[in-house]
Amino acid sequence: MHWQPDPNLHSIPKLYGLIGYPLSHSFSRKYFSEKFVREHITGCQYELFPIESIDRLPELLAAYPNLQGLNVTIPYKQQVIPFLSSLDEGAAAVGAVNVIRVEGTILKGYNSDVFGFQSSLHSFLQEHNTQPERALILGTGGAAKAVRFVLQLLNIPFSTVSREPQEGQMGYEEVNAHIEQFPLIINTTPLGMAPKVDSCPDLAYDKLGSGHLLYDLVYNPEITEFMKRGLYRGIPVKNGLEMLYGQAEKAWEIWNTPAVLTVKK
């Protein structure tokens, strides 16, 4: 379904929404709609805007002067950047935007995945009273970029593994020979995500032990095959649900509090 302006939304004092294409289902719409009810937030509404081209963003903004902020999902996390006035440090470093703060004609881009992952990982490491000496990132996509940025902030050295390794990356066969050297392993790939719940990264799980921690950005199912294989060996595991909630709350904060951006385009 293509987006068409809805005049009924003009009466909403504060409008928020999600741009992407297609938009068959949305965690964000459900999350914010429930938040508005739960926290008695009035005069706000969250809508889906399935624009079939990022070139329609100016049209969307012109149609809704009451628009306060947007979430951005695939395929526009990179494509939206030329339309923005400025980027925050995380979005600039990651090269992807998933939150836009609208201030009239000024559009400011952020990456709340950075905050969501950093907050979630911090609590995971605190819970197990550890600061890993090295981390292994499975995957090289957009989510992996946010993870790399956070690990750099936390001064945790890391290596990246890919099924098709490029320069500076490791293949699974190579990494499996040294898997003991990576106490923190983070899956940023979609392997194990519903409906393909039986899949998982091709690791030498039999070499993992109590000194490891496994973090999976996948949150559906709540316990992935990757996590199951860790639990079977008594390894602490965590999924991406807390990260998801954390990035959503950060988006709300970005939209509703004054912000200072340090990186200009």
Catalytic residue (choose from 35, 77, 238, 250)? 77
CA dist., res. 129 & res. 24, Å (int):
40
CA dist., res. 99 & res. 255, Å (int):
9
Contact between 53 and 47 under an 8 Å Cβ cutoff? The reply is no
CA dist., res. 251 & res. 238, Å (int):
22
For residue 221, cis peptide bond before it (omega within 30 degrees of 0): yes
264 is catalytic: no
Q: State the DSSP H helix or E strand holding residue 264, giving kind and residue range, or none if neither.
A: strand 263-264
Considering only CA atoms, which of 126, 118, 122, 15 is closest in space to residue 71? 15
Contact between 80 and 207 under an 8 Å Cβ cutoff? The reply is no
For residue 50, cis peptide bond before it (omega within 30 degrees of 0): no
For residue 195, cis peptide bond before it (omega within 30 degrees of 0): yes
Task: Indicate which residues carry an active-site annotation.
Answer: 77
